[in-house]
Amino acid sequence: MTSVPALKLTGIDRHYGEGETKLSILTKADFALSSGEMVALVAPSGTGKSTLLHIAGLLEHPDGGEVYLNGTACGHLPDERRTAIRRTDIGFVYQFHHLLPEFTALENVMMPQLIAGLTRKEAAERAAALLDYMRVGHRADHRPGELSGGEQQRVAIARAVANAPLLLLADEPTGNLDPQTAHYVFDALEALVRQSGLGAMIATHNHELAARMDRRVTISDGKIVEL
């Protein structure tokens, strides 16, 4: 029996504008991502990479087609329900860490757990364990401005997986880092994905890092195609 994909996109259409100004970004696009799999999204700017990640992450509605998370159709649910799913089942990592500057690393990782209803004790214990796993536990009491770029991004990854999501979406997570730090951060991210078994789609322009993932895909003529 084949397992249900962590993420499945079927017949996704997305366009902006209407009539003569209509710009089609995705056209009948299909994609599937298994649990524990890392897929590199290698696409030039302007081809719809961010749109694809936003649709997969339930931040945008597709104009056609469906988004399935662990077999459940989610693409056209009401906003309140989509927001609830994002909080528990989807983790996001961006090129810039977007950590809350007034809170410590530990508090930043606690935040999504507290929103999800965990007690402060439970959230603090899990946050501390994740920071240790990402090798920044010794910086738990430091605010983002006191951390290096690589440390900030590892805290951001810990925050993204704090609620044990099914799916991790990352948009150029190492794009703002020097090559050595980028590899260090990617090593930590890869170990986390393999250990937790979540599915990960990672957009990157770094072909060396992309080659380390299970598959590489791109966007061509509105379709998601294997490289």
- Give residue limits of the domains in the chain: 35-60+78-226
User: Residues 61-111: pLDDT tens digits?
Assistant: 999 999 999 999 999 999 999 999 998 899 999 888 889 999 999 999 999
User: Residues 141-185: pLDDT tens digits?
Assistant: 999 999 999 999 999 999 999 999 999 999 988 888 888 888 888
Contact 173, 205 (CB under 8 A): no
The answer, yes or no, to whether residue 114 has pLDDT greater than 60, is: yes
Strands (E) located in 2-145: 7-16, 23-33, 38-41, 64-69, 72-73, 90-93
Q: Topology of 35-60+78-226 in CATH?
A: Rossmann fold (3.40.50)
**According to the model, what pLDDT value does residue 219 have?**
95
Q: Spell out the residues 6+ positions from residue 37 whose beta carbon is closer than 8 angstroms to its own.
A: 6, 199, 200, 214, 215
- Categorize the per-residue pLDDT at 1 as very low, low, confident or very high, splitting at 50, 70 and 90: very low
Distance CA 207, CA 52 (A): 19
From residue 76, how far is each of 53, 154, 205 by CA, in Å? 16, 32, 30
Backbone torsion region of residue 128, taken as left when φ is above 0, otherwise alpha when ψ lies between -120 and 50, otherwise beta: alpha
Q: State the pTM of this model.
A: 0.90
81, 71, 58, 70: which is closest to 12 by C-alpha?
58
